[in-house]
Structure 1
Amino acid sequence: MSVDVKYTTKARATGGRDGAAETLDGSLKVKLAPPKEMGGSGDGNNPEQLFAAGYAACFLGAMKAVARGEGFPKVPNDATVTATVGIGPRSEGGFGITAALEISLPGVDKAEAEKLVEAAHQVCPYSNATRGNVDVGLTVA
């Protein structure tokens, strides 16, 4: 697979899941802590929260990009994407993640919304990165 890279960013983590992470340009800095459900303090953010926020934002952007094409409805200003990301042990060993996106497109016909969501799922970089590795559920609310 070839990618014509238009932008790169760098982030550094220290201390693992119980540490900190920041972008090298200084625009983002977060304290990391495992969630209580995994034996941590929950007193910070975790990689799954960061992944969920990134995926939701990226998918909404992909819908807007696709909607510029012919035959797709305009994405309303109050559209939302809610990403649910889970983590847990895999039966094969190690850990795995799950992902589900709930998409709200107020005022858009459900059939048209589903067509737009499916097209965005083919364009979104997060969807392309997870395809074949993570089952991603898509629900149009």
Structure 2
Amino acid sequence: MKHSFVLKADWNGGRNSDGQIEAGNLRTQISIPKEMGGPGVGTNPDEMLLGAAATCYLITLAAMMERSHLPVHELSLESEGIVDVTDNIFTYVSITHKPHIVLAREATAKDVETADRLAHKAEGSCMISRAVSGNVALATEPKIETVTE
């Protein structure tokens, strides 16, 4: 079964202008980020790629932990994308996901081990990660804790 996603975009000028995109529930302004010499209006392709990779990873991880019946108390994520600019050529170099998994008090040592294994496995199971693999270095640095109170 194939799914189609459609994005519509409008652009208001040259390189340092801005535009708008709309795709399903996503509606936002876009431009080149200030760090790269643009106006910094709305979001940009670098943030959007990081957002796609991060949300795909987080949803994949949550589903894997649910199927494994892990006693998850909290799940959050910080992801970092690195873009290199050499000779005015922009290259997305890496994405590192740093999930913070807090397991319920009753979690066992085996649950902690399973959470760590799944945190790393989710990267290779995520559709966006598979799409960029080989072009962008992908890493996972999980922090796993149990509720102590």
C-alpha distance in 2 between matches for 1:64 and 1:75: 11
Counterpart secondary structure, 1:116: helix
C-alpha distance in 2 between matches for 1:75 and 1:58: 21
| 1:65 to partner: Cα distance | 2.6
Aligned equivalent of 1:11, options 7, 11, 16: 7
1:95 matched to 2:90? The reply is: yes
C-alpha distance in 2 between matches for 1:31 and 1:101: 25
Are the equivalent residues in 2 in contact too, given 1:60–1:81 (CA < 8 A)?
yes
Q: Tell me, which stretches of 5 or more residues in structure 1 are unaligned?
A: none
**Which one is further off, 103-112 or 33-42?**
103-112
Are the equivalent residues in 1 in contact too, given 2:79–2:97 (CA < 8 A)?
yes
Greater share of strand: 2
Which residue does 1:118 correspond to in 2? 120
C-alpha distance in 2 between matches for 1:75 and 1:22: 37
Q: TM-score, normalised by structure 2?
A: 0.73
Which residue does 1:78 correspond to in 2? 74
Deviation above 6 Å: which 4+ runs of structure 1?
none
* Matches for 1:37-48 after TM superposition, within 5 Å: 37-48=35-46
* Percent identical: 22
Count of residue pairs the alignment pairs up? 132
* Matches for 1:120-135 after TM superposition, within 5 Å: 120-135=122-137
Q: TM-score, normalised by structure 1?
A: 0.77
Are the equivalent residues in 2 in contact too, given 1:32–1:44 (CA < 8 A)?
yes
* Higher-Rg member (1/2): 2
Are the equivalent residues in 1 in contact too, given 2:100–2:142 (CA < 8 A)?
yes
Deviation sequence 1:44-82 (CA, Å, 0-9, x none): 11112222222222111111232344xx46272520122
Are the equivalent residues in 2 in contact too, given 1:59–1:81 (CA < 8 A)?
no
Aligned equivalent of 1:30, options 17, 28, 31: 28
Counterpart secondary structure, 2:80: strand
